[in-house]
Structure 1
Amino acid sequence: MNYKIIFLLFAGHLMTDISQGMVPALLPYFISEYKLTYSAAGFLVMALTISSTIVQPLFGFLADRKPLPWFIALGPFLAGLGIAIAGLFHQYYLIVLGIFICGLGVAAFHPEGARIAGIASGERKASGMGLYSVGGNAGFAMGPLIVTGLILLGGLKGITFYFIPALLLAIILYRVVGRFSQLSPGVSQGGNDSGQVGTKKIDMEDAWVPFILLTLAIICRSILFQGINTFLPSYWIEFFKASKEHASTSLTILLGMGVVGNLVGGRLADRFGNLKTVSGAFLLLIPQLLIFVRVTDVTLATLLLMTIGFTCYLTFSPMIVMGQQYLPGRVGFASGITIGVAVSFGGFAAPLLGRIADAAGVQAVFSLIVVFPLIAALLLAFVPKALHR
């Protein structure tokens, strides 16, 4: 495993996904400051989803045809710029535009980042992808904390300061693009030839049916995650009468445990297999979510939030590796689908979930999303076991 490359990718992933993590934490402030409805707030999440999810597979397709390592620098630059625009202006259409630009940065970074991480990981695919993915998970977890700190510092316009570190990291990554360019798909890492993930000269055929089942399972996970991620602060405020700052902390707890879950998930997948790890995690989520929506004590709810975040993120890096294994000749495209869909596709459901919250309260959203890990587990039951060790 090439740890230097993995660390650089970790840093880029961290900065890019801090921007994504800031968006849900900003929603209560937008709702309060600009009198947005839950539906209008949900549309902001959908704007992020449209630009990141739909465009991301296209970037992955381009990366398969020709490596584009400079996208590693473009990603955090655009993501930080979009957040700055959303904070600088109060007009709703400009906030939407800023979040859309943020999503383009996400779309540019992830497929190329995952392709290079797969090559640099050598034989320890799930563990290496786990380290790379932790950058994104940590970014999501840090996003709400950074929102709170910057808003306390300078109000909503204070979040524009985030563009400064994003720009500095983008410059650093652009200056080391040569290191990424040296990682051709056929070059091994760590003394083995497993670096060939990402080349079309692999003998394995693309397994489209398992990949489609995996993608549908990821969509279920995405709706679950975006439902929690988007409405958790509002749930904490409405149900537990918490302050906006306390509500943002609940997101950090959820996503912070996700960082731990991602690392553990990679280790478990390398030991027990990707499919077993992912299926088991989805089944474990069901009772946790059923209990969570019935809890009235904030302390117990916080403890459950920790286990939910941990279990949900056990699935993250194994699912990326599964996508690359199912489409060995289209690793960039597979990464664009699995990472783009996994993180963003549920945003398309956010306006609908927002309407449910407007009509029946935020708790109704959390009661509904319990069904999605069950559907995901059922979909994965049809994946041929022969594809996994």
Structure 2
Amino acid sequence: MQNLNLLWLLSLGHLVTDMAQGALPVIIPEIRDAFNLSYFAVGILVMVSNISSSVIQPLFGLWSDLRSSDWLLPVGCLLSLVGIGLAGISPHYALVLLAVLMSGLGVAAYHPEASKTARFLSGHRKASSMAVFSVGGNLGFGLGPLLGTVFLTWAGLRGSMLFLLIGLPMSFFLWRSLPVIRERMNQQQVPANAQETTEGKGEGSASLEDTGKGKSLLPLILLLLYVIARSWIHFGLVTYIPFYYQDYLHGDPAKGGYVLSAFLIAGAVGTLVGGPLADAVGGRRVIIGSMVMIGPLIFAFLHSSGFWAYVVVSLLGAVIVSTFAITVVLGQELLPNHVGVASGLMLGFAIGTGGIGVTLLGWIADHFGIIVTIKAIGLLSLVGIATSLPLNFWGKGKTIAGQPVKASKIQ
């Protein structure tokens, strides 16, 4: 039970940390108007956020693998919200970029260490346990635009500083909890490593460390490409749903924020469903099915309004993010001796690399408009389908390594 409590603590920290990333899309339109920015300049902001928060995560993961770095949990959480707070009060575009960079570095620092800790605290049903950790981040990503909309409506851009009222207490709570986390990690890490070493040497293992064969590298490459495509779709919709309501429909900007919150909060629900579903029927089936559904749902969103727009966008958010925990677990099982690096690759590099594509989407929006841009986002699901079809290494009842999944409870 104590392990489960710690998983939920990490999930709560994940929620608060990712709240900063979720708030950025509703802050950006206000920043654009304040500094008269083009869509391309908006894309630069998103790119800086994604590079600093995601692409460099494997470096923090490597640091986490080489030495104990649990102090990154409170520090990363704090920096993420300090940065987003400063972004709203910075008087120049260059200072906004620096604030976004600071926030992104905080996000990058938190994720690999927290994900590695969550893995060591989990039982055999790692997808379900990772879903507990992941749901916090996805929920935070959903609450970010909702709170951001409320704060900006109440106090303008300076309202971004109100996020510190959430970040400061959470960072302090994580810091006070470090002794308990260290104690449980010391108890769990050696058995967990021994177990993963044994599993990694089982028949049919796809562990890169164990085989060292080129054929084992292919699943990792395909998995990275899949996450990049999913990220490009996700960040594209997160960025352009508010602009769709504000610039194309000429509606209340607050409505775009509320629809975006529905999209992101539904993603948290999708995470909770996707992890156990993958443990039950196989991760490959879930990740293929997710990509197949994205295109039709985007088409339906563009042709819906009112209540049905919320329904469709919620389904879309749940479907896209349902594979989040699954891909993290698959990456960790492919690199069982470098869990921090694997977490950084799946949670950071692949997601951030896909997010950089938002800059290209900005160019498309400048030249062809918002509708063409959202349709182009839908076409990216074809890339995800193409990369997921060959992923035949995680069938029903088995992990990547070919070992049976054992039913177990988190202690």
* TM-score, normalisation: structure 2: 0.88
Conserved? CA contact 2:55–2:351, under 8 Å:
no
Shift of 1:342: 5.1
| Other-structure match for 2:242 | 233
Shift of 1:197: 7.1
1:272 aligns to 2:281 (yes or no): yes
Structure 1 CA distance for aligned equivalents of residues 144 and 261 of structure 2: 8
Matches of residues 278-357 of structure 1 in structure 2 within 5 Å? 278-293=287-302, 295=303, 297-341=305-349, 343-357=351-365
| Other-structure match for 1:71 | 72
Shift of 1:186: 7.1
1:209 aligns to 2:210 (yes or no): no
Corresponding residue SS for 2:298: helix
Deviations 1:130-153 (A, max 9, x none): 011011011111111111221223
Which consecutive segments of 4 or more residues in structure 1 shift more than 4 A? 193-202
Shift of 1:196: 5.3
Q: Which residue identity does 2:148 align to in structure 1? A: V
Shift of 1:67: 2.7
Q: Which residue identity does 2:172 align to in structure 1? A: I
Deviations 1:254-311 (A, max 9, x none): 0111111110001101111222211111112222223334x15344333221111111
Shift of 1:343: 4.0
Q: Which residue identity does 1:216 align to in structure 2? A: L
Structure 2 CA distance for aligned equivalents of residues 98 and 198 of structure 1: 40
Distance 1:129 1:195, change over 3 A: farther
Conserved? CA contact 1:115–1:331, under 8 Å:
yes
| Other-structure match for 1:137 | 138
Deviations 1:231-274 (A, max 9, x none): 11001223333211111101101011111111000110111122
| Other-structure match for 2:29 | 28
| Other-structure match for 1:373 | 381
Q: Which residue identity does 1:336 align to in structure 2? A: G
| Other-structure match for 2:169 | 168
Corresponding residue SS for 1:149: helix
Deviations 1:197-249 (A, max 9, x none): 77799535324221111001100001101110111100122333321111110
| Other-structure match for 1:122 | 123
Structure 1 CA distance for aligned equivalents of residues 197 and 41 of structure 2: 43
Conserved? CA contact 2:227–2:350, under 8 Å:
yes
| Other-structure match for 2:95 | 94
Conserved? CA contact 1:51–1:104, under 8 Å:
yes
Distance 1:175 1:200, change over 3 A: farther
Structure 1 alignment gaps of length 5 or more:
none
Distance 1:181 1:354, change over 3 A: same
Structure 2 CA distance for aligned equivalents of residues 79 and 381 of structure 1: 36
Conserved? CA contact 2:18–2:141, under 8 Å:
yes
Distance 1:185 1:368, change over 3 A: farther
Shift of 1:178: 1.6
Distance 1:176 1:297, change over 3 A: closer
Structure 1 CA distance for aligned equivalents of residues 355 and 284 of structure 2: 25
Deviations 1:26-62 (A, max 9, x none): 1111122222111111111111111122321001011
| Other-structure match for 1:385 | 393
Shift of 1:124: 2.0
Q: Which residue identity does 1:67 align to in structure 2? A: S
Q: Which residue identity does 2:253 align to in structure 1? A: K
* TM-score, normalisation: structure 1: 0.93
Question: Aligned-residue CA RMSD in angstroms?
Answer: 2.2
Q: Which residue identity does 1:76 align to in structure 2? A: C
| Other-structure match for 1:154 | 155
Conserved? CA contact 1:202–1:329, under 8 Å:
no
Deviations 1:92-131 (A, max 9, x none): 0011100000000010000011111111111121111101
Structure 1 CA distance for aligned equivalents of residues 111 and 195 of structure 2: 16
Corresponding residue SS for 1:187: helix
Structure 1 CA distance for aligned equivalents of residues 258 and 108 of structure 2: 27
Conserved? CA contact 2:228–2:351, under 8 Å:
no
Shift of 1:177: 1.1
Deviations 1:170-196 (A, max 9, x none): 12211211222224477279xxx5575
Structure 1 CA distance for aligned equivalents of residues 44 and 171 of structure 2: 28
Q: Which residue identity does 2:258 align to in structure 1? A: T
Q: Which residue identity does 2:301 align to in structure 1? A: F
Structure 2 CA distance for aligned equivalents of residues 11 and 357 of structure 1: 35
| Other-structure match for 1:222 | 231
Conserved? CA contact 2:284–2:392, under 8 Å:
no
Shift of 1:156: 0.6
Q: Which residue identity does 2:296 align to in structure 1? A: P
Conserved? CA contact 1:25–1:147, under 8 Å:
yes
Shift of 1:160: 1.0
Conserved? CA contact 1:324–1:335, under 8 Å:
yes
Conserved? CA contact 2:242–2:253, under 8 Å:
yes
Structure 2 CA distance for aligned equivalents of residues 100 and 238 of structure 1: 27
Corresponding residue SS for 1:369: helix
